[in-house]
Amino acid sequence: MSQRRVVARDEALNPQMVFGSDVINRIAAGKKIHRARLEPELLRFMDEQGIPSGRPVVAVGNTVMAHFLMGRSAASLGEFPYKSLLPLRRRLSHRRGGIQFEMLPLLGPFVGSDCTAAILASGMYRSPRLSLLVDAGTNGEVVLGNRERMLVTSTAAGPAFEGATLECGSLAQTGAIRAVRHDRYRFRPSVVGGGEAKSICGSGVLDAVAEAVRVGKVEASGRIVESARLNVSTGQRPVFLSQSDIRDVQLAKGAIAAAIQVLLAEWGASAEEVERVHVTGRFGASMSPKSAERIGLLPPMQRNRMRRHGNLALLGAAKATLEPLLFEEAERFASNCREVMLSSHPQFEQAFIDSMRLEPWN
């Protein structure tokens, strides 16, 4: 704490994966979900690092995960009118399994404290200029605003840009294609760790689709031309995108782009008026802005306006750990946030349908 540096870091897959990869299936699991607990892993980590068990732990996550962590049923978030049993826009505290958890404010039934932490880390809540924050994960979150007010929303982008659910997809691990360009009639992939490609991760998927559209191998409608699949690497273990994979990319791209368009319409601004864009998440940190613009995932913009971040939610949690007064600051800007519910928004459906096409913004 005194040196303000990260001493150790550990990562693990959520044990709730056994109940499904999305929050709807986990909500349906009901009380069983509480058996997949976080506390044993945390206590082991704290013991290894010599951290006293009495020290508070700052946690961030989406609203459903917050309910599980705080020992509350998430059932009300799985059915209309989607009510949170936890208070919104203020700090949460809960003692569980011998650990004192402190959580940054939730912003809405579908926008959690991870988004609050990302806003905190980006600094957009202090800026007078209009900024856009995009987390293109499975539960995609989009924020538009400045120090006066903010619009926030969540959109079901699906896991296509995280890679793991595609036929040859994976996380950004050794052997995964992370970037692609098309040159002289063939794809030229860049592979994590070098060597032969074994899979393809989210940033590679984005590049492959964008390049395929550019050279005419995939139509703007998403149809693969002259083949049943798009071959990205043809080694001993071919890596390809199937037609189904392309459709999943279209769904993810459409959900994110439509969410941005709806927030811009709610604000009364054009894409050109956005002065800063923050893109975060495992995918966002490594994606190509040019590819994102080519298929219309993001609006066209000057390169110096975009900032890519690996994990703004984690950075925001770390900042709040180092400076507890930021909890109060987060409560202040949370009170100026308004959640836009896309499921009932009159413009979302048409924006989503239009955004399914793999082409730049008009």
DSSP string of 191-209?
ETTSSS--EE-HHHHHHHH
Q: Would you list the DSSP string of 62-83? A: -HHHHHHHTT---GGGSSTT--
Contact 239, 196 (CB under 8 A): no
Q: What is the pLDDT of residue 325?
A: 96
Placement of tokens 């550019």 in the chain: 214
Q: Residues 290-333: pLDDT tens digits?
A: 999 999 999 988 878 999 998 999 999 999 999 999 999 999 99
pLDDT tens, residue by residue, 55-74: 899 999 999 999 999 989 99
Rounded to whole angstroms, the Cα distance separating 101 from 70 reads 8
Q: Name the 3-class secondary structure at 75.
A: helix
pLDDT at position 284, please? Answer: 84
**What local confidence, expressed as pLDDT, does residue 102 receive?**
97
pLDDT per residue as tens digits for the range 63-111: 999 999 998 999 999 998 899 999 999 999 999 888 999 999 999 999 9
Structure tokens at 295: 């298929």
**pLDDT tens digit string along 259-296?**
999 999 999 999 999 999 999 988 888 899 999 999 99
Dihedral in degrees, nearest 10, Cα atoms 34, 40, 42, 47: 160
Domains of the chain: 15-103 (3.30.420.480), 125-310+342-362 (no CATH)
Residues constituting the chain: 362
69 vs 42: CA distance, rounded Å: 13
Residues ≥6 apart with Cβ < 8 Å to 43: 53, 97, 98, 99
Overall average pLDDT of the 207-212 stretch: 97
Residue 170 confidence (pLDDT): 92
Q: Which pLDDT score, from 0 to 100, does residue 302 have?
A: 81
**What is the predicted pLDDT for the residue at 33?**
82
- 100 φ/ψ angles, rounded to the nearest 5 degrees: -95, 110
**Res. 19 pLDDT band, cuts 50 70 90:** confident
